[in-house]
Amino acid sequence: MSFSYVSHLYCPKCERTYDVDQIHQLCECGSPLLVAYDLEAMRQKVKRDVLREREANLWRYHELLPVKHPEHIVSLGEGMTPLVPMPRLGREIGIEALYMKDEGVIPTGTFKARGAAVGISKAKELGVKQLAMPTNGNAGAAWSLYAARAGIQATVVMPVEAPELTRKECAIAGAELYFVNGLISDAGQIVAKAIREYGWYDASTLKEPYRIEGKKTMGLEIAEQFSWQLPDVILYPTGGGVGLIGIYKAIKELQALGWVDGRMPRLVAVQAEHCAPIVKAWKEKKRESEFWPNAHTVAFGINVPKALGDFLVLEAVYETNGCAIAISDEAILAQQQMVAKLEGAFICPEGAAAFAAARTLRESGWIRDGEKVVVLNTGTGLKYADLVQVVPPVLEPEDSLPMRE
């Protein structure tokens, strides 16, 4: 039995293949590369029962991850986040079987830790010493911290408007941090120039093939946590769309292994009203998106005007009979409050967008009676504490509390 059944990298556009033991970024044709496994060999040799003995973190799926030698693993215990039933909210919005996959409780407070753990581990295995990346904040934070643990130097460029906490995470981890007066796409241009000039490793979304593999583990966990019975619908707040591409890839791999029962869940790409390139493309039945001008939303993690992997996100939506839907900032903030009040979960605005989408899709009948629905809460609301403004009454020491009605 091998530790990893990884076999090679391949291009989903032109089908060229590449070696996993060397550094590769994009395909020669400009497309992101995906990681392939020898699923046939794995199907023969590995039974899903082996998982029972393993620790509750994402490395329990090491056969389906790209790291070949366990000594290269860089871990802070990430993964196997809770799949929490949401009965009160579910009743309110008419979805009895509503679940939240809660990524708010993972190291660094967002699911970006998954991509960083696997991406950094593989970078270490490949001998990377210095990487650079653009970020909307959370990825930069996670990659800076995991890079620190791996002894890899990180240079990070983020919009000045990115959530304040994330810059502190980068800085405390010792990353070289820069702001850009602009969007993540502008940060991306600056990073690309440095990569060309200095030959650093490019850790930008989808410019290295391994971040998807980390995020894929959300799909593996959802399947295992439901005892290998797939849910009907999975809703995902979509920026670069890596999580959605990953979940789709995970479930296809589980199907090829014969580990799961039931049909492929319908995957929903949730975006913000003022940054919805995937939704626009989906409505127009296109295979790729166009750059979204003047993108803005409180859900900063999904403020991505044009994603390199847009065609893969759209393919996952089309192939699963899913859909794409945009939510307003007002609805996001109202939903965030409702989830806290009804379920005691302080979720991030991106996660709130996905819950708001579940509500809208139930109202329209797209989510049907009795369907089992999973919403990805991609991070903790604590990372965006400024979005909640409170002005409580101030008491003097001799004051007493009024009675509550």
Binding footprint of ligand PLP on the chain (CB under 6 A): 110, 112, 138-139, 237-243, 301-302, 348, 350, 378-379
Q: What are the angstrom distances between the C-alpha of 393 and each of 2, 49, 397, 402?
A: 62, 56, 13, 11
d(CA 175, CA 96): 45
110 binds, among Zn ion, ligand PLP, none (CB under 5 to 8 A by kind): ligand PLP
- Rounded to whole angstroms, how far apart are CA atoms 201 and 311? 24
Q: Which does 350 bind (CB under 5 to 8 A by kind): ligand PLP, Zn ion, none?
A: ligand PLP
Minimal distance in Å, beta carbon 285 to Zn ion? 24
* Cβ pair 106, 378 in contact under 8 A: no
Of the candidate residues 4, 6, 10, 11, the single one contacting Zn ion (CB under 5 A)? 11
Partner interacting with residue 312 (select from Zn ion, ligand PLP, none; CB below 5-8 Å by kind): none
Q: Is the CB of 134 or the CB of 241 nearer to ligand PLP? A: 241
**Measured in whole angstroms, how far is the alpha carbon of residue 67 from the centre of its chain?**
20
14 binds Zn ion (CB under 5 A): yes
> By CB under 5 A, which span of 19-27, 65-73, 189-197, 207-215 interacts with Zn ion?
19-27
Q: State the helix-helix crossing angle for 138-150 and 112-125, rounded to 10 degrees.
A: 40
Report, in Å, the least distance between residue 54 CB and ligand PLP.
Answer: 25
Distance from C-alpha of 148 to C-alpha of 395, rounded to nearest angstrom: 45
Residue 37 Cβ vs ligand PLP, minimum distance, rounded to whole Å: 21
Instruction: Report the alpha-carbon distance of residue 372 to residue 386 in Å, rounded.
Output: 33
Strand pairing class (233-237; 201-202):
unpaired
Measured CA to CA, the distance from residue 80 to residue 48 in angstroms comes to 16
- Residues 20-39, interacting with Zn ion (CB under 5 A): 27, 29, 31
The CA-CA-CA angle for residues 76, 81, 86, to 5°, reads 155
Q: How far is residue 187's CA from residue 185's CA, in Å, rounded to a whole number?
A: 5
Sign of the four-CA dihedral 397, 398, 404, 405 = negative
> Residue 29 binds which one of ligand PLP, Zn ion, none, with CB within 5 to 8 A depending on kind?
Zn ion
Task: Look up tokens 């032109």; give the residue.
Answer: 14
Q: By CB under 5 A, is residue 17 in contact with Zn ion?
A: no
Residue (100 or 302) nearer to ligand PLP, CB? 302
Give the residue closest to ligand PLP by C-beta: 301
Q: Which one of Zn ion, ligand PLP, none interacts with residue 242, CB within 5 to 8 A by kind?
A: ligand PLP
Helix (H) or strand (E) holding 153: strand 153-159
State which of positions 158-177 bind Zn ion (CB under 5 A).
Answer: none
Q: Which of 2, 7, 8, 13 binds Zn ion (CB under 5 A)?
A: 13
With b meaning 16 or more CB within 10 Å and e meaning fewer, what string describes 205-226? bbbbbbbbbbbbbbbbbbbbbb
Q: Which is nearer to Zn ion, 16 or 263 (CB)?
A: 16
379 bridge partner residues: 110
CB of 112 to ligand PLP, least distance (A): 5
What is the smallest separation between the CB atom of 360 and ligand PLP, expressed in angstroms?
Answer: 18
31 interacts with, out of ligand PLP, Zn ion, none, CB within 5 to 8 A per kind: Zn ion
Residue 36: enclosing H or E segment and its boundaries? strand 34-37
Rg (CA), the chain: 21
- Closer residue to ligand PLP in complex, CB, 63/213: 213
- Name beta bridge partners: 97: 372
Q: What is the DSSP letter of 130?
A: E
72 binds, among ligand PLP, Zn ion, none (CB under 5 to 8 A by kind): none
In the complex with ligand PLP, which residue's Cβ is closer, 138 or 153?
138
**Residue of 89, 30, 157 whose CA lies nearest to 351:** 89
Smallest distance, Zn ion to C-beta of residue 96, A: 44
* Shortest CB 27 distance to Zn ion, Å: 3
CB closer to ligand PLP, 239 vs 322: 239
> Of Zn ion, ligand PLP, none, which one does residue 140 interact with (CB within 5 to 8 Å by kind)?
none
CB nearer to ligand PLP: pick between 46 and 270: 270
Query: Which parts of this chain interact with Zn ion (CB under 5 A)?
Result: 11, 13-14, 16, 27, 29, 31
